[in-house]
């Protein structure tokens, strides 16, 4: 963080060269890791192990299905989804396409197809496996709520309770802190953009700092009130608000076109699923950079976020069976994600296709608000969007403080409020300093670099789970 604050250009340049090397040399490895997570998820869902409870036999779920889904979705990708739904679609269609000429019919159709690919089954399969393993070891085997605890069957207590285990748990903390701090920077910039659109607010670091300070106070308050109140209520409110927002955009936007694109996207996503999953463009060197910038970047991003999201999902999933857990985490968010991108992305595509707006020329955080200008109820939609982003901002941050509290207190299920407050203040301070210095690209690159060793840890976690299941210690 200090490196990014005082020497942002040096950090950005050096880490960019490292991430380019990783993408080029290990991109194939990330491809296989994410594909393996999908295979493992489907196998466990439909195997004899699907009936095993994440907890004791008489344990019941702590949260209702709607509240559970709202929390895992809010922690998993809420703010990122609001940030990229329009901008990423426009980029794939009109700026840089994976296969076709930008602006062509194929590029437009592929834009939503690759949105679904990057935000769908692969990322959620990874989250589901990591979350399942953490929940299984914590609630079924009474292990500490730590990444290292899931590796004891493979490496033994001596190693995992020693320096190596501490290194692994520290890496999980590092990935969580860097990822969430970067996301808080995204959120501040997008809220600033929305307020500028609505009220002509200044676009500056100091205004973003005010936004960050207000949000920090709110998410610390939410984290203080605990899972059953603050995070649960905010997540539920936000999912309903987001659902209403999607419905209204669907109504005021090109509704029939959205339905057609939604249907076609599902078909293209399914029919090209295997091809996209293993395509590294080894011959088309002109398109390899696109794969590195998007697919490999996303796979590394999801891997680096896996300890945070996985632990949070595990924490709220006690009492569910493996089959229920995997079906809920894998299927429902993927469907909702495709709906989000279809509604917002298609509405944006419609404007650019017909020459009504040049959204491709706008900054990433401004594209959604630029789209609203050309549809009815633009001010209302902008205001609701800012509200949704703000709540997703708060739920992502307070989920992170909760998980960081667990990771840094030996796996405590309910870390002390003082611990959560300290983490909350540190997260916001890091986000503010990196925003001010312009070092956010370097911060993101550090996250991608951390994903490489953590991908190996995830593989060992899966092997450890299957070793326990094979030894029939649980049935």
* DSSP per-residue string spanning 203-250: -SHHHHHHHHHHHHHHHHHHHHH-IIIIIHHHHHHHHHHHHHHHHHHH
Domain ranges of the chain: 2-470
List beta partners, residue 53.
Answer: 321
pLDDT in tens, 280-338: 999 888 888 999 989 998 999 899 889 988 988 998 899 999 999 999 999 888 998 99
Instruction: Enumerate the H helices of 97-137 as residue ranges.
Output: 105-119, 121-135
Select from 3.30.310, 3.40.50, 1.20.1740, 1.20.1730 the CATH code of 2-470: 1.20.1740
Average pLDDT over residues 31-39: 97
CB 203 within 8 A of CB 193: yes
CA atoms of 392 and 204, how far apart (whole Å): 22
> Cα dihedral angle (21, 23, 25, 27), rounded to 10 degrees?
170
pLDDT in tens, 131-166: 999 999 999 999 999 999 999 999 999 999 999 999
CA atoms of 82 and 389, how far apart (whole Å): 7
Share of the chain above pLDDT 90, in %: 52
Phi, psi of 53 (to 5 degrees): -85, 145
CA atoms of 86 and 367, how far apart (whole Å): 6
Instruction: Please compute Rg for the chain using Cα positions.
Output: 21
pLDDT at 439: 60
pTM: 0.91
Q: Check pLDDT > 80 for residue 207.
A: yes
Nearest to 5 by CA among 474, 432, 465: 432
């Amino acid at each position: 963080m200090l490196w990014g604050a005082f020497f942002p250009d040096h950090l950005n340049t050096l880490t960019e060269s490292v991430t380019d090397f990783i993408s080029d040399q290990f991109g194939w490895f990330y491809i296989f890791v994410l594909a393996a997570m999908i295979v493992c998820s489907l196998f466990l869902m439909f195997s004899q192990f699907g009936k095993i409870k994440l907890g004791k036999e008489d344990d019941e779920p702590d949260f209702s299905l709607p509240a559970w889904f709202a929390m895992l979705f809010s922690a998993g990708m809420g703010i990122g989804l609001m940030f990229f739904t329009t901008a990423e679609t426009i980029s794939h269609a009109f700026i840089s396409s994976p296969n076709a000429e930008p602006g062509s019919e194929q590029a437009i159709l592929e834009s939503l197809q690759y949105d679904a690919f990057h935000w769908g089954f692969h990322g959620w399969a990874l989250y589901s496996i990591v979350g399942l393993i953490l929940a299984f070891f914590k609630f079924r085997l009474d292990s500490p709520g730590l990444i290292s605890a899931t590796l004891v069957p493979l490496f033994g207590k001596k190693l995992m309770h020693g320096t190596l285990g501490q290194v692994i748990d520290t890496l999980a903390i590092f990935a969580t802190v860097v990822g969430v701090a970067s996301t808080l920077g995204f959120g501040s910039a997008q809220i600033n953009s929305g307020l500028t659109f609505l009220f002509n607010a200044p676009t500056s670091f100091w205004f973003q700092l005010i936004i960050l300070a207000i949000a920090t106070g709110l998410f610390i308050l939410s984290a203080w009130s605990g899972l059953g109140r603050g995070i649960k209520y905010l997540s539920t409110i936000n999912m309903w608000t987001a659902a209403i927002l999607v419905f209204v955009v669907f109504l005021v936007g090109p509704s029939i076109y959205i339905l057609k694109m939604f249907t076609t996207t599902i078909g293209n996503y399914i029919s090209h699923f295997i091809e996209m999953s293993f395509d590294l463009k080894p011959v088309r060197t002109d398109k390899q950079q696109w794969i590195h910038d998007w697919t490999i970047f996303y796979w590394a991003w999801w891997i680096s976020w896996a300890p945070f999201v996985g632990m949070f999902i595990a924490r709220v999933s006690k009492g569910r069976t493996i089959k229920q857990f995997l079906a809920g985490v894998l299927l429902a968010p993927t469907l909702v994600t495709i709906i989000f991108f279809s509604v917002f992305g298609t509405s944006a595509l419609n404007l650019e296709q017909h020459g009504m707006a040049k959204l491709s020329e706008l900054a990433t955080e401004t594209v959604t608000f630029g789209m609203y200008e050309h549809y009815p109820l633009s001010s209302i939609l902008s205001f609701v969007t800012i509200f949704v982003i703000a709540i997703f901002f708060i739920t992502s941050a307070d989920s992170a403080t909760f998980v960081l509290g667990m990771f840094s207190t030996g796996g405590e299920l309910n870390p002390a409020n003082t611990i959560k407050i300290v983490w909350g203040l540190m997260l916001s301070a890091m986000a503010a300093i990196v925003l001010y210095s312009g070092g956010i690209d370097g911060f993101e690159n550090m996250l991608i670099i951390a994903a490489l060793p953590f991908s190996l840890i995830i593989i060992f976690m899966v092997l450890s789970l299957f070793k326990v299941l094979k030894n029939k210690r649980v049935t």
